[in-house]
Structure formats: structure tokens, C-alpha cells
Amino acid sequence: MDSDKAVLFILGAAHSLNHSLFLVLPPLLSDVSKSLNASFQTLGAISSVSFLIYGVGALVGGPLSDRLGGVKVAKLSIGLSGASTLVFLLSRDLATFAAGMFLIALWASFYHPTSNSLISRLFAENTGRAMGIHGAAASVGQMFTPTVAYILGTVVDWRFAFVFFGVLSILTALIMGWMPAERDRPSGKGTSIMEFIKAPNIWLLILFNIAIGLFSRGVELFFPTFLSVGRGFSGQLAAVANSLILLLGVAGQLLGGFAADRYGSSGVLIAASVGSAAGVLALLLLPLRTIGVALFMVGYGIAYFSHQPAMTALMGVASPRDLVGAAYGVMFFCTFGLGSVSTMVSGYLADASSLETAFWFMGLATLLALAASIAIHRRIGK
């Protein structure tokens, strides 16, 4: 394995754990709610603030990686976000739980703009495929997270489930010390986010990422609970279903990366939006509920995840080369930061009406993403 591929492999493991820290809560949402005497709306609000921090921090992580180097910032992000899970060992009230979630989000927020900036430099010729492999590696690890978290949380305690993935994150940060220093290639100076926002047609990419965040953040938090409460699945089966979505996401990441390099990223964004919208409609409308769930899993697992390598590749191409770190920071701020309102709104709708109403809201977000993807194809067309 040459050094570039080894770096991609290690970043894939780090990417997996970066997301896994947020995937522990969904299958254990009911347990945490009962343990802390907190409503879904309250936990949804905490998740919204966490994702907002996750997004805002990306605005710092991108320029910081331009100044200090990608590997250094990635190690810092993975190691300290993992260490933050130790707060849950002290969590006996809602305030301590919220503090733990916020600390995880703060340190984890630096990872995405840092790693994607590094990958776009290392794999300039096949960026889409490299981004797909990076994402697929993450999905392989993530697909086990809901099931493992559910087992650890029910057999031992939900707090231990968080700490388990935190320790794995710390170990991965130590392994990242192997990565050669020359892979950092820092520019030594920060970049202006305002300069990036002024680039032509960037607002369309921003709109698409906000719409994707409004959809995906709510699904990530509430899908296992929706299956349990709204479709009669057992907690264990709901966790397994969540893992299967991530397994399908592996295929989606690889397919999206290949298609982006071969056919163009904007076409992949349209296909991903259509598949996601169709999946939500199937979940909500089909009378045979198991078939609706299966079609949603395919739509979300393959179609939705295929957009990620395409969007990251397109963002790298559409952005000025000296603003790549800032570009990825803005991209993830839109998806995880501005899109984080989804969990708060979905939690409110779930408490005030039903989880089905919350998923109708998410379905509207997929239509917004579809409209934005069509505009991207017409205006940027890469």
C-alpha cells in the first residue's frame, strides 16, 4: 500500500468514528429520554445545538487546516472529540448530558473540512472516486454503530456506549501519528470565507447543502424511533435497520464517486435528490409498511449517500484553489450547522403531532434539494 492510499485508509477510519459519535444516541433515544426524564423535543433541541456547533466549528477547521496542516488538525479533532465522551460517565442530569454532546460536536467539527481539503490535494485527478472511498470506509464502520451502541446501551448502560466509541477515537488519533508530516503541506495563512462566498454560483451549492441537512439530520436522529413507535419494530430490529442503511451507504458512496468522475457531479446530485424523495414517499404512503421501510432504506442508503462524494468533488472544482479549506468549512456548516434546525423542528412535530408529521417535513426538504440540484446542473453543470 503506497503512502497516499494508507493516508486515505486511516482517514476513512477517522471519518467513521467522527460520525459514529453522533450515531450512538438515535438507537438509545428512548433510554436516554427515560434516564434523564427528557422529552423528544428537548433531546432534539440538544441535538440541534450540537449539530449547529458541529457546523460552525467547520468554519474554523477549514482555515485552521490551511494554516497548521491537515494531519495535525485531524488528529486534534478525532482525539479530543473521543476524550469528550468521558463526560457521560458523570452524566446524571440533562445539563451534563448536553455539555458532553456540545464538547463532542466542538472538537469533531474540525474534521470534515480538514480531511476533504487534504484528499482534494492528494487525489486531484480522481477526486470523486477518492471521496467515495473515504465516505465508503466511514459507512463500513458506521453501519455497525447503531447495533453495537444498542447492545452496549441495553446490556450495560447508554453512557458506556458513548465511551466505547470515544476510546476507539482516541486510539485512532494515536495511529494518525504515523501519517508523514509532508502530507500536511500547510499554506501558513488563513483564508477568507467571505471571498469564497462571493465566488460565482456558490450560493446554489450552499442552498443544496442546507436542504440536505434539513433532511438527513432529522432522519439520523429519529429513524430508529420512528420504526419502533410508528411501525412496530423492536428496538433491536430498528437498530439493525439503521445499520443496514449505512451498509447500503457504502454502495452509494462508491457509486456516487465513480459516477461523478465519469458522468459529472451535478447529475449525481439530481439522482440522489430524486431517490431520497421517492424513499420518503414510499415510507409514508405505501400500505405494506415493511415494503415502504425497505424502499426508504434503499433510497436513503444508496441515493442519499451517493451525493456526498459528488458534492465534495464539485465543491473542490467550483472553489478557488487557495480557498478549498474555507470552502469545505462553509459546506459542512450549511449541512450540519444550518441544517441542524431539522432535529429541533422534527422533535417539536413528533411531540406535538406524530413522528409521521416530522417525516413529512423532512420529505419537503428533499424536494428543496431536488430544486437546488437542477439549478446546479443548469448553472454549473460539472
Please give the full DSSP string across 175-229, using - where no structure is assigned: HGGGS-GGGT---SS---HHHHHTSTTHHHHHHHHHHHHHHHHHHHHHHHHIIII
Confidence of residue 78 (pLDDT cuts 50, 70, 90): very high
- Lowest-pLDDT range of 1-10, 82-91, 107-116: 1-10
When pLDDT is averaged across residues 16-20 and rounded to a whole number, the result is 90
DSSP 8-state class, residue 338: G
Write out pLDDT tens, residues 123-171.
Answer: 766 777 777 778 777 777 777 888 899 999 989 999 999 999 999 999 9
Do residues 6 and 125 touch, judged by C-beta distance below 8 A? no
Average predicted confidence (pLDDT) for the chain: 83
Confidence of residue 1 (pLDDT cuts 50, 70, 90): very low
CA proximity to 84, closest of 100, 95, 98, 96: 100
pLDDT of residue 10: 84
What domains, with CATH codes, occur in the chain? 3-379 (1.20.1250.20)
Place of cell 440522489: 272
Confidence of residue 374 (pLDDT cuts 50, 70, 90): very high
User: What are the residue ranges of helices labelled H in 226-298?
Assistant: 235-263, 265-285, 289-298
For the cut 80, the answer to whether the pLDDT of residue 18 exceeds it is yes
Do residues 62 and 327 touch, judged by C-beta distance below 8 A? yes
- Lowest-pLDDT range of 29-33, 191-195, 303-307: 191-195
When pLDDT is averaged across residues 98-103 and rounded to a whole number, the result is 94
For the cut 70, the answer to whether the pLDDT of residue 4 exceeds it is no
When pLDDT is averaged across residues 64-77 and rounded to a whole number, the result is 80
Residue type, 78: I
